[in-house]
Chains A and B, each alone.
Chain A
């Protein structure tokens, strides 16, 4: 194996492809996510456009070889623009029988299966619940696919024989063999992975050597084995000029928050309690202590948000992050922040619900919770990110709106874009706008005390945005008390007056509504301004809708696409856009939540199109629906 490079190179055919979907699948301990990420980064460096979708079980190490333990990483890369992780895969790499069984339905007819034969022994077939005596590799059930059987485990062991490593450790490197082989198959360099290994195992140099050896063995296996006669090439995509990096949604959110802290000159405080799929934001922020970031892993979700409220009272840019169940626990404290009228960003990386629901799967079913899910009339600003890199933009926007309007802002992302990745033409720091924060330093009003007019700091005296001043502890003369009890405007004194309560409730709503003056107009993403069908989406369905609408327009269908990112208040021109279309189709990964809102606000008969399966829409599903509506 190691001498393979010296052998005479065989004649292989090179075939150019526009785009390819590879699905890596195996046990959650097989290193599938790492294999996928490395292939992604290598392809990104080559200039492909990319979208990825990791799919892992809720259990960290589910029983080996079982269907419950299958972890997947779907990667879509191309020389054309890519907006989704792909509907069906061209290549399915499976480390065992369960991985095959769980994913074979998503492989295109004629697609390639690369199967690790060692994972198809009797025990593995049993675990995958194949009937006794049935081996899918042998029974002809895969005849419509091209199946390559490779004994990856055996080849990896042979490669590291005599390395002094135990079999268990050796087997852990078999993902490198797979990666090496696929890098060969798609004409990709091993260099980025080798430099990654060097960085990753800086402190364990022996692992750099062994992993590199297995990686090369996988590459050379493709080169020397006569079974593989075709190599594929996917050229760079026509992307706008610029410098790119690969970015995952949760990472983008974290960077967006840090950027907002820098641009506002405030300390970033992140109060959070571990929860899937939001924890990675905490992990990412905790890495960046050199930006002065204060991360506080609280004892529970309530303490997480309450600590952030305390930090905000103290003058920090305060964030709390969680997922649906955690947001439910934070409800009362969100109400407190609404009453205190302080800046606070509440991040919800949505997952399948209700209750524990589907922790590792994606859903958009917390929109109504974000808009209405608290006691009393309790409006906040709600914004939603539409792609991994858009998490950066919307995290920054959430902070900007929260600080400029002195109001809590809910930022919605979801498991799909949080864990998904794409190329990002990142901005320069200097091109990001400053966020202006003016702490109050002077008394701003008077009160009448008998015959005496006294100069006072009035904590609830408002500007034209209805935003109140932010006087932080340490500011002499502006000492004041605020709380969750209904209060009088201007003074902030406790008030149980009937007229006052109604006035304050309306005022807090008006405050959210006026933020519409401070957000961009809704734009059409694609299609004409007037027409037959408008596909109206929000959040992570962006890529699938984008692809479907593009395909339909190419077919001559009169369809347009608008994607909403400011959920409350809605852009002021949205109503006018809706009026210009005969039909409004609303694909959502929930039971029609945004559709309810649109019907309520604009009294139009929207057409719901819902998928609540824990997985994103495929572009094909949306395209079929548009075609059906066009009939």
Chain B
């Protein structure tokens, strides 16, 4: 999101100003609480007046989000937040528009709108809360659940292959692709701010724990014991390093990423992260191995890719301005008359 056209607030705001009077009704221990907290914390720093912010959601646990934000908000229907937000942003380009969706809402029933939003590149932010399960409907597997997932609707294990959400977003032409997690507030706040700064659709996948129906789905990435070994926190201009003692790095062997011991290579040989390299971002989104697999790649967090591409609503407004310039402001009488008329006396 760009801040160039959005009016700034007239007073200093705090996280409390973004907290609505509604009682938060997620299950105790849900990862959504942390995400809500980080969003409310970040908002005052964005320098936008509350009235110029809109949160739009679909259906699902995460989609209750707008009710808890004291901004403008729409809690729409299942899968359609992206479409509602597109119409809002197209007609009100100056607003800061945030879409809150989940893996079921945004990748399954609303998958079509998600890819088309990314393709059009409206200047909005998508927060996809991924908990790899349908929570609100009480525990069916989702299009993000791993193959073999045992759930209420798959008592013998799912035979569905999951989406790789970020590879999907990248393939759809996404211009800001990032991943964060509910359990790392500082990282999440950083990514939220960067998402806001980006002009174009910012797609942020947030690993979120559903402690009722899918507890621990991401614990290997989020818990202290394994986090450092299993995750790769990417920083622009810095080498890709991970491991309990930052002892491992990623090196490119031709087109093939390989894990090396940092001690064995010179710093120049390591893969230096470049947020603006689409090809490398493509490889990074493919770091999607099952952590139980031997020799698997660590799971990357941070910004995979940022690209500058035309923004839909600007194109729409510019075209209207061009036509008005070329043809003059529309005159209703001329329109009503049409090209040919005749008179009856």
| A contacts, CB < 8 Å to B | 41, 44-47, 192, 236, 239-247, 255, 258-259, 262, 267, 269, 271, 288-294, 296, 298-300, 302-303, 306-316, 318, 332-333, 335-336, 340, 426-429, 432, 449, 473-485, 493-494
Assess the A245–B341 pair: CB atoms within 8 A.
yes
**Does B28 sit at the interface, judged by CB under 8 A?**
no
Which residues on the B side are within 8 Å of A47 (C-beta)?
Answer: 342, 344
Q: How far is the CA of A316 from the CA of B333 in the complex (A)?
A: 22
Assess the B86–A288 pair: CB atoms within 8 A.
no
**Does B335 sit at the interface, judged by CB under 8 A?**
yes
Assess the B94–A309 pair: CB atoms within 8 A.
no
Assess the B72–A269 pair: CB atoms within 8 A.
no
Which residues on the A side are within 8 Å of B250 (C-beta)?
Answer: none
Query: Which of B21, B90, B328 neighbours the largest number of chain A CB atoms within 10 Å of its CB?
Result: B90
Q: How far is the CA of A288 from the CA of B338 in the complex (A)?
A: 12
Q: Give the contacting residue for A258; candidates B71, B327, B332; CB below 8 A.
A: B332
Assess the B329–A474 pair: CB atoms within 8 A.
no
Assess the B112–A303 pair: CB atoms within 8 A.
yes
Q: How far is the CA of A335 from the CA of B77 in the complex (A)?
A: 9
28 A-B pairs (CB sep. < 8 Å)? A41-B340, A44-B340, A46-B342, A242-B344, A243-B341, A243-B344, A245-B341, A246-B338, A267-B91, A269-B91, A288-B335, A289-B319, A294-B316, A306-B87, A309-B87, A310-B83, A311-B88, A311-B91, A473-B52, A474-B95, A479-B51, A479-B71, A481-B55, A481-B74, A483-B66, A483-B67, A483-B75, A485-B75
Q: Which residues in window 272-328 of B have CB below 8 A to A? A: 316, 319-320, 323-324, 327-328
Q: Which 7 residue pairs are nearest across A and B when measured between Cβ atoms?
A: A483-B75, A310-B87, A307-B87, A291-B330, A306-B83, A310-B88, A481-B73
Assess the B95–A473 pair: CB atoms within 8 A.
yes
Assess the A429–B324 pair: CB atoms within 8 A.
no
Assess the B340–A314 pair: CB atoms within 8 A.
no
**Does B16 sit at the interface, judged by CB under 8 A?**
no
User: Chain A: which residue is nearest B336 at the CB level?
Assistant: A426
B48-85 near A? 1/0 per residue, CB < 8 Å: 01111111100000000011011111111100101111
Q: Give the contacting residue for A310; candidates B75, B84, B337; CB below 8 A.
A: B84
Given A246-B340, A314-B95 in contact, is the A290-B116 Cβ separation under 8 Å? no
Assess the A308–B343 pair: CB atoms within 8 A.
no
Given A311-B90, A428-B333 in contact, is the A493-B73 Cβ separation under 8 Å? no
User: Chain A: which residue is nearest B89 at the CB level?
Assistant: A310
Assess the A481–B72 pair: CB atoms within 8 A.
yes
**Does B113 sit at the interface, judged by CB under 8 A?**
yes
**Does B92 sit at the interface, judged by CB under 8 A?**
yes
Q: Give the contacting residue for A303; candidates B72, B94, B116, B335; CB below 8 A.
A: B116
Q: How far is the CA of A308 from the CA of B84 in the complex (A)?
A: 7
Q: How far is the CA of A44 from the CA of B340 in the complex (A)?
A: 10
Q: How far is the CA of A414 from the CA of B85 in the complex (A)?
A: 31
Chain A nearest CB from B234 CB (Å) reads 31
Q: How far is the CA of A246 from the CA of B337 in the complex (A)?
A: 9
User: Chain B: which residue is nearest A493 at the CB level?
Assistant: B22
**Does B14 sit at the interface, judged by CB under 8 A?**
no
Using C-beta atoms within 8 Å of the partner chain, give the interface range for chain B: 35 or more
Q: How far is the CA of A193 from the CA of B129 in the complex (A)?
A: 61
| B contacts, CB < 8 Å to A | 20-22, 49-56, 66-67, 69-77, 80, 82-92, 94-95, 112-113, 116, 316, 319-320, 323-324, 327-330, 332-333, 335-345
Which residues on the B side are within 8 Å of A262 (C-beta)?
Answer: 332
Assess the B335–A291 pair: CB atoms within 8 A.
yes
User: Chain B: which residue is nearest A242 at the CB level?
Assistant: B344
Q: How far is the CA of A291 from the CA of B319 in the complex (A)?
A: 12
Which residues on the B side are within 8 Å of A449 (C-beta)?
Answer: 21
Q: Give the contacting residue for B333; candidates A244, A269, A340, A429; CB below 8 A.
A: A429
Assess the A290–B323 pair: CB atoms within 8 A.
yes
Which residues on the A side are within 8 Å of B76 (C-beta)?
Answer: 306, 309, 336, 483-484
Q: How far is the CA of A340 from the CA of B341 in the complex (A)?
A: 43
Which residues on the B side are within 8 Å of A293 (C-beta)?
Answer: 320
User: Chain B: which residue is nearest A41 at the CB level?
Assistant: B340
Chain A nearest CB from B10 CB (Å) reads 8
Assess the B330–A307 pair: CB atoms within 8 A.
no
Assess the A484–B75 pair: CB atoms within 8 A.
yes
Q: How far is the CA of A462 from the CA of B204 in the complex (A)?
A: 39
Assess the A473–B92 pair: CB atoms within 8 A.
yes
Which residues on the B side are within 8 Å of A303 (C-beta)?
Answer: 80, 82-83, 86, 112-113, 116
Assess the A288–B90 pair: CB atoms within 8 A.
no
Known A310-B86, A475-B51; 9 more pairs at CB < 8 Å:
A244-B344, A245-B342, A259-B332, A288-B335, A294-B320, A306-B86, A309-B74, A429-B332, A473-B54
Q: How far is the CA of A444 from the CA of B22 in the complex (A)?
A: 19
Q: Give the contacting residue for A236; candidates B86, B333, B335, B344; CB below 8 A.
A: B344
Which residues on the A side are within 8 Å of B72 (C-beta)?
Answer: 313, 473, 479-481
Given A482-B75, A483-B66 in contact, is the A314-B332 Cβ separation under 8 Å? no
Assess the A290–B329 pair: CB atoms within 8 A.
yes
Assess the A307–B83 pair: CB atoms within 8 A.
yes
Assess the A310–B74 pair: CB atoms within 8 A.
yes
Given A243-B342, A310-B86 in contact, is the A289-B320 Cβ separation under 8 Å? yes
Q: Give the contacting residue for B74; candidates A259, A313, A318, A427; CB below 8 A.
A: A313
Chain B nearest CB from A461 CB (Å) reads 17
Which residues on the A side are within 8 Å of B80 (C-beta)?
Answer: 302-303, 306, 333
Chain B nearest CB from A631 CB (Å) reads 40
Assess the A294–B49 pair: CB atoms within 8 A.
no
Which residues on the A side are within 8 Å of B92 (C-beta)?
Answer: 314-315, 473-474
Assess the A332–B327 pair: CB atoms within 8 A.
no
Chain A nearest CB from B321 CB (Å) reads 9
User: Chain B: which residue is nearest A258 at the CB level?
Assistant: B335
Assess the A255–B87 pair: CB atoms within 8 A.
no
Assess the A482–B344 pair: CB atoms within 8 A.
no
Which residues on the A side are within 8 Å of B341 (C-beta)?
Answer: 243-245
Assess the A299–B112 pair: CB atoms within 8 A.
yes
Q: How far is the CA of A245 from the CA of B336 in the complex (A)?
A: 9
Q: How far is the CA of A303 from the CA of B119 in the complex (A)?
A: 14
Chain A nearest CB from B7 CB (Å) reads 8
Which residues on the B side are within 8 Å of A302 (C-beta)?
Answer: 80, 83, 113
User: Chain A: which residue is nearest B329 at the CB level?
Assistant: A290
Which residues on the B side are within 8 Å of A192 (C-beta)?
Answer: 340
Which residues on the A side are within 8 Å of B54 (C-beta)?
Answer: 313, 473
Chain A nearest CB from B174 CB (Å) reads 15
Q: How far is the CA of A259 from the CA of B86 in the complex (A)?
A: 25
Which residues on the A side are within 8 Å of B336 (C-beta)?
Answer: 255, 259, 426-429
Chain B nearest CB from A344 CB (Å) reads 11
Which residues on the B side are within 8 Å of A44 (C-beta)?
Answer: 340, 342
Which residues on the A side are within 8 Å of B83 (C-beta)?
Answer: 298, 302-303, 306-307, 310
Chain A nearest CB from B83 CB (Å) reads 3
